[in-house]
Amino acid sequence: MVTRKTPRSTLVLLVRHGETPTTGKVLPGRAPGLHLSERGRAQADRVAERLAGVRVDAVYTSPLERTRETAAPTEARTGREAVVEPGLLECDFGEWTGAELSRLSRLKAWSTVQRAPSTFRFPGGESFPEMQARTVGAVDRVRAAHEGGVVVCFSHADPIKAALAHALGTHLDLFQRIVVDPCSVSAVSYPPGQAPVVLTVNSTGEPLAGLRAS
């Protein structure tokens, strides 16, 4: 008699990059040359520490410096070299790239960004639906490549929030209600043939070894 193994769920950990000198001040977008601050580096170390006891099968990261630097301690701890996944890249803010948030918040369009993001395209850049489709596609690719395993993905606030909204079955217009702090971890379980299960959102403190892909 042949015993068939029950397919296991895949656990995806979505990690926002650590703080930079501009966090909360400007919209850095995809501009190159932005690195972690001292606090951000400490946050990245803490993420790696929290993964103690977790059998990580793969690490993926956005191409930008701040995400790759955040991934570095996790690479060292797990022995898994991070693979650059372009789909995890920050939203393309177009002409708004590098603008001060205090100035953007006074624009009429800012209300649309917050209340009806599904209708908004950044001038010369990406729309929120395009960003969500790109990020969800990236998550689908990496989880399919490591079925039944644990995958850590280092990305950015808006792409992570959009991926979480998709996993929750929440309309994109509500994704701004999700909080994703620097170096927070959000965990989504993907059971074979079933809807995803969101296990935790914006976790910043406790060890992660207790997470199980349900």
Residue 212 included in any domain: no
Residue 32 included in any domain: yes
pLDDT of residue 211: 80
**Using one digit for the tens of pLDDT, what is the confidence trace for 179-198?**
999 999 999 999 999 999 99
Residue 5 included in any domain: no
Q: Can you tell me the mean pLDDT for 3-30? A: 91
**Using one digit for the tens of pLDDT, what is the confidence trace for 82-127?**
999 999 999 999 999 999 999 999 999 999 999 999 999 999 999 9
Residue 53 included in any domain: yes
Q: Can you tell me the mean pLDDT for 149-171? A: 98
* Average of per-residue pLDDT values in the chain: 95
Q: Can you tell me the mean pLDDT for 25-40? A: 97
Residue 208 included in any domain: no
- Using CB atoms within 10 Å of the CB of residue 166, give its burial: 0 to 12 exposed, 13 to 18 middle, 19+ buried: buried
pLDDT of residue 100: 97
pLDDT of residue 209: 87
DSSP 16: E
Residue 179 included in any domain: yes
146 falls in which pLDDT band (50, 70, 90)? Answer: very high
In CATH, what number is assigned to the domain containing residue 28? 3.40.50.1240
Q: Domains in the chain: how many in total?
A: 1
Residue 182 included in any domain: yes
pLDDT of residue 140: 97
SS (H, E, C) 134-155: HHHHHHHHHHHHCCCCEEEEEE
Q: pTM, whole model, 2 decimals?
A: 0.95
C-alpha to C-alpha distance for 103 and 145, rounded to whole angstroms: 42
Q: Can you tell me the mean pLDDT for 32-55? A: 97
Residue 33 included in any domain: yes
Name 152's bridge partners.
Answer: 13, 59
pLDDT of residue 56: 97
**Residue-number span of the structural domain to which 98 is assigned:** 10-203
